[in-house]
Amino acid sequence: MQKILVIGNGIAGLSCARLLVNRGWEIEIWGNQCFSPTLILNQITCNLLQDIWQLESSFWNSLHLLQERKVCWGNDENFLSMAEPSMVINGNSLRNCLWQHLLDEYHNQIKFQELPASIDNLLERQSEFAWIVDAGGRQSIIARKLGASHRHSFGNRCILSQEVRLTNLVKKDIYWIESVSGGWLFFAPLGGNRAILQSMVPPFSGEPASIFINLLKQTRHIQDFISQLSGTLAIFTAFPQILQPLCGDKWLAVGDAAFSVDPISGDGTGYAIRGAILATSIIDAIASGLSSSDCLEHYSLRLGKAFAAHIQQCLKYYSKGFTSSIWQEEIERMHKAQELLQQTKHQDFTHILKGFQLVKLET
Ligand SMILES: Cc1cc2nc3c(=O)[nH]c(=O)nc-3n(C[C@H](O)[C@H](O)[C@H](O)COP(=O)(O)OP(=O)(O)OC[C@H]3O[C@@H](n4cnc5c(N)ncnc54)[C@H](O)[C@@H]3O)c2cc1C
């Protein structure tokens, strides 16, 4: 049995581990207890999670269900409503649940190790593993130790996030996205009297709490739903990034370590899971005899095209929503991403995923 090292125990790393042990690989996983934000998972992402993890119905039944999304963007006076069934989940609970699942079912095939403070000895141990998967999130430097040269960032914006308490005007199965001149806000009920409020802001120099309140006060709808702030304000970097290259000889980056998306997509978890499915199918395809360079090229192209489509979606929203010079700089940075990814537009896929298996297309 050959061994694979997965670094990172977020949704991408755990999903890689699960898909690989299922196919008979032995896994060593390095991880730690780090904070995951509250997640809103759309139906497609929930289905993918279910396909990979076969979770009990009691797991899904315990989650708060949202049915509808309302969006009020740019100068539009009205909001758009769309049916968008989604589940609310605490990111830490999801990780713990998946981790427990792995331990219960595969403790003979998986070895867990605390993420070492320094990864200087990684290269010494490299020969022990058939593959190394970097699933260490957007801050990871693992892939750069293994051969990636650069992590491109397309902006400087961040998310301010805090829990809030609700007024009685709230419909508890509707979540909202609203833009104001300085940024955009996301409001989602969590069940009971709680909701999460997040605001996307460009680089700022003032006090984050007062910027947060100030943006909230400019909203046309969301401020009516909030009776008070609770808990503490957290700050997350939230601009799109992509690693270059995304893979190399016996290593792949997956999830946020490969590319991280702007939260406007609402689907970072979905990207991470789809990345894990593709990465593990690449490893398997190479082990079963497909050309390594062709498979890795397909991996880069598939992720490159997904990231390019994401940037295009961001540009559509941000160009319509914001005119200030600080937002124009963010928009300009995203145009640079389009230039960088230009060549992926003209390349065709040579492989396709059938279920969880990578297949070479007939020419
Ligand atoms: C504020 C915010 C809100 C979000 N909301 C949503 C949402 O509503 N819906 C949605 O689908 N997505 C959302 N996302 C995106 C989603 O959280 C990520 O896309 C997803 O968690 C990526 O998973 P991952 O496993 O690649 O990375 P992570 O979840 O970041 O996991 C990386 C793991 O790597 C390990 N690690 C940490 N530091 C290092 C290091 N230096 N080196 C190596 N390993 C390390 C840790 O074990 C960590 O668990 C949100 C993101 C943010 C920031």
* 3-66+89-154+240-360 CATH choice from 3.40.50.300, 3.40.640.10, 3.50.50.60, 3.20.20.80: 3.50.50.60
pTM of this prediction exceeds 0.85: yes
Q: Residues near ligand 1 with C-beta < 6 Å?
A: 7-13, 31-32, 34, 36-37, 39-41, 45, 115, 135-137, 139-140, 142, 159, 161, 236, 238, 255-257, 263, 266-270, 272
Residue 30's nearest CA partner among 104, 105, 153, 128 is 128
Q: For 207-241, how does the pLDDT look when each residue is reduced to its tens digit (9 = 90+)?
A: 999 999 999 999 999 999 999 999 999 999 999 99
Q: What is the token pair recorded at 179?
A: 């833009």
Q: Which of 11, 30, 86 to mutate to test the pocket of ligand 1 (most atoms within 8 A of CB)?
A: 11
Q: Which atom, in ligand 1's list, is nearest to the CA of 269? A: 11
How far does residue 234's CA lie from ligand 1's centre (Å)?
14
Where are the domains positioned within the chain? 3-66+89-154+240-360, 158-237
Residues 45 and 34 sit within 8 Å (Cβ to Cβ): no
How far does residue 77's CA lie from ligand 1's centre (Å)?
34
Positive or negative, the CA dihedral 13, 19, 25, 26 is positive
pLDDT tens for the chain, 363 residues long, are: 699 999 999 999 999 999 999 999 999 999 988 888 899 999 999 999 999 999 999 999 999 999 999 999 998 878 999 999 999 999 999 999 999 999 999 999 999 999 888 887 788 889 999 999 999 999 999 999 999 999 999 999 999 999 999 999 899 999 999 999 999 999 999 999 999 999 999 998 899 999 999 999 999 999 999 999 999 999 999 999 999 999 999 999 999 999 999 999 999 999 999 999 999 999 999 999 999 999 999 999 999 999 999 999 999 999 999 999 999 999 999 999 999 998 888 899 999 999 999 999 987
How far does residue 138's CA lie from ligand 1's centre (Å)?
7
Spatial separation of the C-alpha atoms in residues 218 and 220, rounded to whole Å:
7
Q: Which residue has the CA at smallest separation from atom 35 of ligand 1?
A: 8
* 158-237 CATH choice from 3.30.70, 3.40.50, 3.30.420, 3.30.460: 3.30.70
Q: Which atom, in ligand 1's list, is nearest to the CA of 271? A: 19
